[in-house]
Structure 1
């Protein structure tokens, strides 16, 4: 069973899935802004936080199955699901497998596109350094995920993110990198899912091709997207704005496709 933590007692359950080299503690800044109408279920994905490694390769589908087992253990039949980065990839796999279990799907600084060939090659090249020099890998990668125009302001958050990354089991990280290489295009999930779909993206996100992704979104009334003036980590860079969008969008309605 995956490690998880519940906060709040609202009537709507919002499941939060963190990204690569993260854990459930990344949501601390965001959750204090989230509506009292939510019960938050924060889950450590396999090989991260206090959840064990379950395979040599953690595919997004395998992790989605583990998330479903966690929801079943809590007798949760239908939830709002939000995933950051790799958590978004897992959320897409979950939506493909268990669409009837979703009230909404939020891609939080994530994408439905697979890795291109160049990124796959970079991930494969990283296998050895993750195994042999993981601290170097983590320290080099984390700062690049924040808005480069606000590095001085975000220095404290970068330090927190780096510490969380360094606490990750390197073999758990390796299993997830191998799983991310195997990802396929999930645009068809957005084309077919009946639940509400929310996209929150960053203008300065170096990990996601934000404009390409937003411009290629299916033209459906159940999909809304927002581009914020930040990097890859809205939960640390713009927590109050992100929470306002989540609260209002998932519980009410907002105008479509805003740039904030």
Structure 2
């Protein structure tokens, strides 16, 4: 029996939404509400995050993909459209490599099929040291605000505070494990290119975590590519209605 905790809403074509790092399934609450009129929307907590347990502080994206495949089988989630934000996008690509044509379509939200560069790997290593020394609350409080554009920090103050509180629902083992998993992930651009189904990338021109140059460099691997002008790493918050509609239109086209 899978230990993956999730919530779902609606009926019909399965649409799986996978949260990012320092986030939980709750980030998709408004998306699930609005998209459930057309789809069976299913939002899992990744291992060690929210209400899903994890054994230890090490995990690979390949292991996560196997867990999600088992979870899908147990819950009759067949031929899903899978959309992931940031870390959730990396998980989506690992799932795509494992399941291939058993996925109807995939979407990446502020994410990348490329592996970490050397400087990014070092940043991940420093994050692990910080987490182990200072704990979840202090890490999340410092990590989350820079995901939003600095010039919108006052305008989005309430949203940033909610994101911080959501991030604090991650376990220490979970955050350490996924920091290492992101650091060690392999490039999956060929996996993406070889998938014949629909593929969506939503990018932000002001994204500090996944630079717009990296998004543009992988643009040709996608069938659908959208840039959100002036948006940082949290387009689903900064442009909620617009991005809900983007996901709805992309998913409806697969029905």
Q: TM-score band (shorter)? A: over 0.9
2: CA distance, partners of 1:31 / 1:156: 21
Residue deviations 1:78-132 (CA, integer Å, cap 9, x gap): 1000001101000000001101221110001111111110010111122222112
- Report what 2:219 is aligned to: 217
Shift, 1:33, TM fit: 3.0
Distance 1:216 1:22 in 2: 25
Task: Give how far 1:35 is off.
Answer: 5.5
Residue 137 of structure 1, CA deviation? 1.6
> Which shows bigger deviation, 13-22 or 207-216?
207-216
Q: How far apart, in 2, do the equivalents of 1:213 and 1:203 lie?
A: 9
Q: TM-score, normalised by structure 2?
A: 0.93
Quote the residue 1:257 is aligned against. Answer: none
Kindly indicate whether the alpha-carbon contact (under 8 Å) linking 1:18 and 1:83 is maintained by their aligned counterparts in 2.
yes
Q: How many pairs were matched up?
A: 250
Q: Is the 8 A contact 2:16 2:80 kept in 1?
A: yes
Residue in structure 2 matched with residue 74 of structure 1 by the alignment: 75
Q: CA RMSD in A?
A: 1.5
1:114 corresponds to: 115
Query: How far does residue 239 in structure 1 lie from its aligned partner after superposition?
Result: 1.2
> Aligned in 2, Cα 1:77/1:33: closer, same or farther, shift over 3 Å?
closer
| SS of alignment partner, residue 34 of structure 2 | coil
Q: Displacement, 1:55?
A: 4.6
User: Is this contact kept in 2: 1:33–1:244, CA < 8 A?
Assistant: no
Match of 2:166 in 1: 164
Secondary structure at the residue paired with 1:33?
helix
TM-score (norm 1): 0.91
Q: What runs of 5+ residues in structure 2 fail to find an aligned partner?
A: none
**CA contact under 8 A between 2:58 and 2:181: conserved in structure 1?**
yes
Q: In structure 2, what is the Cα distance between the partners aligned to 1:198 and 1:248?
A: 11
How far, CA to CA, are the matches of 1:33 and 1:148 in structure 2? 29
After TM superposition, give the deviation of residue 186 of structure 1 in Å.
Answer: 0.9
